[in-house]
A and B are shown apart, each in its own frame.
Chain A
């Protein structure tokens, strides 16, 4: 399926990325992600995923796209970007990615998983991000790399004296 003109314009900055391109953007648009649970980290992750064009499904609402206020404020037309309408009628077989790992990780002493070789969150901290924003952005990044078929192996990191470090 070719990208529509409005999708090309909206996601042009992602398409520019070597790791994404048009084919990668199509994967992001075609891969519905389930957001299971509620937390600040998941809200941020959901917002980033929606902004990248990924359809989100909130398991807790039993039947709708996630439509929380934070999501709507980040990507007002995210729920309209659903090229893979077929999956709505067959949710059981749709590809889903559980990002609750990150919520659990946060509650377990700050351990989270990030793909090996990724630039590390010091750069995000430099933007004055809170931990929730940092972790949420990373959760979205991990999911996106998974969808794009990029490296999915994880490394553990730990928060030491306010700085995130690889273990």
Chain B
């Protein structure tokens, strides 16, 4: 079970990453965050943005109906 879940399927870039970034900041290193996203743009950008900020992409699964589930492990500093 993830430590937190965030649904950004109603968000558009760049607010998708803003929402996820703020959520990641609220968690501790080692915690996992499950991100529900929709559309090609966040699917391309979010894993890269998270990795660029030092977080670990644990999994990325397509759920159908255009949504995907991204699981990140938090890394600070």
Point out residues on A near B: beta carbons under 8 Å.
Answer: 3, 8-9, 12-13, 15-16, 18, 21-23
- B18 lies within 8 A of A8 (CB): yes
Contacts between the two chains (Cβ within 8 Å), count: 25
Instruction: Tell me how many residues of B have a C-beta within 8 Å of chain A.
Output: 10
> Quick check: is B53 within 8 A (CB to CB) of the other chain?
yes
**What distance in Å separates the Cβ of A29 from its nearest Cβ neighbour in chain B?**
14
The 4 closest A-B pairs by CB, nearest first: A22-B22, A12-B18, A22-B25, A15-B18
Grouping DSSP codes into helix (H, G, I), strand (E, B) and loop, the B interface class, with mixed when no group exceeds half, is helix
- B14 lies within 8 A of A12 (CB): yes
- A12 lies within 8 A of B15 (CB): yes
Q: List 25 A-B contacts (CB under 8 A).
A: A3-B22, A8-B18, A8-B22, A9-B15, A12-B14, A12-B15, A12-B18, A13-B14, A15-B18, A15-B21, A15-B22, A16-B14, A16-B17, A16-B18, A16-B21, A18-B52, A18-B53, A21-B21, A21-B22, A21-B25, A22-B21, A22-B22, A22-B25, A22-B26, A23-B25
List residues 15-65 of chain B with CB under 8 A from any CB of chain A.
15, 17-18, 21-22, 25-26, 52-53
